[in-house]
A and B are shown apart, each in its own frame.
Chain A
Amino acid sequence: MNEERFDELMRDAAQTFRSPPEADFDGMWAEIDRRTNVGADAPVRTRAFSSRAAWMALAATLVIGVALGRASMMIGRHAAPQVAPAVVARAQTAQRADSNTSLANNPYEAETSRYLGQTAALLIALPSEAKNGRANEQFVGRAGDLLTTTRLLLDSPASDDPNMRNLLEDLELVLAQVVRLPNTHNRTELELINRALEQRDVIPRLRTAVSDNSAN
């Protein structure tokens, strides 16, 4: 009897003695994350490598594109005597126009098209990839690569068009937020990204740009 009553009192204590309150686990994690260096090296190395790879790829694309453009012009000049003079004149006129516009711009256009498609895919996948305010390393790595490309394109003739420039600037902002996601683990951060996407109408503009670029 005594033992039973004592056990009853202890069971009551299990409910009432220092009954644990609600805890801010996200806040605690933010502090732990700040104080530890779990993975501090790996993702940075990955992103740094990817950034270099993106730079190299874009630079290579531009160099090859310009070289092809020049080579086309030279081939055009050498090939002209074998064709009727009228055709040569028309071809040369067209070729000059092409080489001044599309051939010179093709490297940017091709790169821009590829970039826009990849960015659209990434941002559309964002809500499912970044559940609970977190995104996996690979996803964030891709966002980092696209952020680098965005900045390169902002400094290139691809951003001569004001609409494209505005879109690239908005994408730079959003991608920079996505890249920060693994460090914050914060739902608020994801909400801010979604709000930025909505307020700036980014996805519809991106889709329009993708289809416009494909048409070109």
Chain B
Amino acid sequence: MSEPDLIARVLAGDRIAARDLYDAHSPRVFRLAFRLTGDHALAREFTQDTFVRAFGQLAKFRGDSALSTWLHRITVTVVANAMRKVKRFRERETDLEDVHPIGSDSPGVDPVLRERLHRAIVDLPEIYRITVIMHDLEGYTHTEIAEVLGVAEGTCKSRLSQARAQLRTALADLAPEYDT
């Protein structure tokens, strides 16, 4: 069934179609939410919030962009708004190891350097952090990120460039050759 048909069925009150839509998009939404929060419980909560909001506003979806783009825009908005509140509670209590557990190690990368990079990504200003996570870690294109964030593609490229520069600077004392 095509996505427009699926959306039409959801709007007509078909719960099965709603579940199909959720099945198709929830893995990527959860993945993005986890990358942005680094917290399983929050990622779960924000994934749920994303779909609750999406189903509530589905009638307003005009199909100008892909449904996935629209959903990821909601995800980023939900996460960004909620994380500002979460941060206020967590400030000075954050243990980096707890917030973003390290996945499978890849050989050849100095663990200290890796750790420093992870911390530097977390410390990036929000607009840069979201751009780096979506582009470099999750593989979104500049076009997709621009649509999700509602900015021009050029702005997105510029933010990524700025973000990478800040990351290089953060690593400079450990690996001077990165800071060029």
Which of A's residues lie within 8 Å of B, judged by CB?
1-2, 5-6, 8-21, 23-25, 28-29, 31-33, 35-36, 38-43, 134, 136-137, 182, 185
Which of B63-71, B103-111, B143-151 lies on the face that meets chain A? B103-111
In Å, the complex CA distance between A130 and B66 comes to 30
B48 touches A39 (CB 8 A): no
B15 touches A32 (CB 8 A): no
Q: Using Cβ atoms and an 8 Å threshold, which residues of chain B touch A36?
A: 18, 51-52, 55-56
A39 touches B14 (CB 8 A): yes
Q: How far is the CB of A172 from chain B (nearest CB, A)?
A: 24
Q: Number of residues in B with C-beta < 8 Å to the partner?
A: 53
Verify if B6 is at the interface (C-beta below 8 Å from A): no
Q: Using Cβ atoms and an 8 Å threshold, which residues of chain B touch A5?
A: 175, 177-178
Q: Using Cβ atoms and an 8 Å threshold, which residues of chain A touch B168?
A: 6
B48 touches A19 (CB 8 A): no
When C-beta atoms are compared, the residue in chain A nearest to B58 turns out to be A38
By secondary structure, the B interface counts as helix
Can you list 11 A-B contacts with CB-CB less than 8 angstroms, sorted by A residue number? A6-B168, A6-B178, A9-B113, A14-B139, A17-B117, A18-B101, A28-B26, A31-B48, A35-B52, A38-B10, A39-B15
In-complex Cβ contact of B30 among A1, A23, A33 (8 A): A23
Q: How far is the CB of B31 from chain A (nearest CB, A)?
A: 5
Verify if B180 is at the interface (C-beta below 8 Å from A): yes
Q: Using Cβ atoms and an 8 Å threshold, which residues of chain A touch B101?
A: 18-19, 21
B52 touches A137 (CB 8 A): no
In-complex Cβ contact of A16 among B51, B104, B139 (8 A): B104
In Å, the complex CA distance between A185 and B22 comes to 12
Q: Which of B18, B103, B114 has the most CB of A within 10 A?
A: B103
In Å, the complex CA distance between A42 and B177 comes to 64
B13 touches A39 (CB 8 A): yes
Verify if B164 is at the interface (C-beta below 8 Å from A): yes
Q: Using Cβ atoms and an 8 Å threshold, which residues of chain B touch A13?
A: 114, 117-118, 121, 136-137
